[in-house]
């Protein structure tokens, strides 16, 4: 009985397949995701760079400066990794207007 009803409904109503529909998200304030990432990196690294400069100016020798620079390079890599892999939430409303009577 269900198959008969399904066949009758399909013959009366045009069915649209939305499986090929897609949605694309773009950053609102930047021209690309790469630009958004670059700006975020600069913003998040600013305190680290200031701390590096302060410690380098207080370092007693070139060996100490080299050690400090290496330590900060590893901290910077860790910060980049954290930024690149931080989960982000997207909250949106999608309004769809579909006229099922049109072809």
User: Is there a domain that residue 2 lies in?
Assistant: no
In total, how many domains does the chain have? 1
Domain that holds residue 39: 29-85
User: Is there a domain that residue 18 lies in?
Assistant: no
Give this prediction's pTM: 0.62
Residue 101 — pLDDT band, cuts 50, 70, 90?
low
Give the pLDDT confidence of 22-58 residue by residue, as tens digits. Answer: 888 888 899 999 999 999 999 999 999 999 999 999 9
Judge whether 62 and 54 are in contact, CB under 8 Å: no
User: Is there a domain that residue 78 lies in?
Assistant: yes
Please give the torsion angle defined by the CA atoms of residues 88, 23, 20 and 18, in that order, rounded to the nearest 10 degrees: 100
User: Is there a domain that residue 38 lies in?
Assistant: yes
- Is the predicted pLDDT of residue 82 greater than 70, yes or no? yes
User: Is there a domain that residue 36 lies in?
Assistant: yes
User: Is there a domain that residue 4 lies in?
Assistant: no
Of 8, 7, 14, the closest CA to residue 102 belongs to 14
User: Is there a domain that residue 77 lies in?
Assistant: yes
Q: Report the percent of the chain where pLDDT is more than 70.
A: 91
């Amino acid at each position: 009985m269900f198959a008969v009803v399904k066949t009758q409904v399909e013959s009366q109503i045009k069915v649209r397949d939305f499986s090929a529909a897609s949605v694309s998200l773009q950053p609102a304030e930047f021209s690309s995701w790469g630009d958004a990432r670059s700006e975020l990196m600069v913003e998040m690294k600013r305190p680290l760079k200031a701390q590096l400069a302060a410690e380098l100016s207080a370092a007693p020798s070139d060996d100490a400066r080299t050690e400090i620079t290496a330590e900060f390079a590893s901290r910077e890599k860790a910060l980049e990794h954290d930024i690149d892999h931080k989960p982000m939430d997207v909250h949106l409303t999608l309004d769809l207007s579909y006229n099922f009577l049109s072809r």
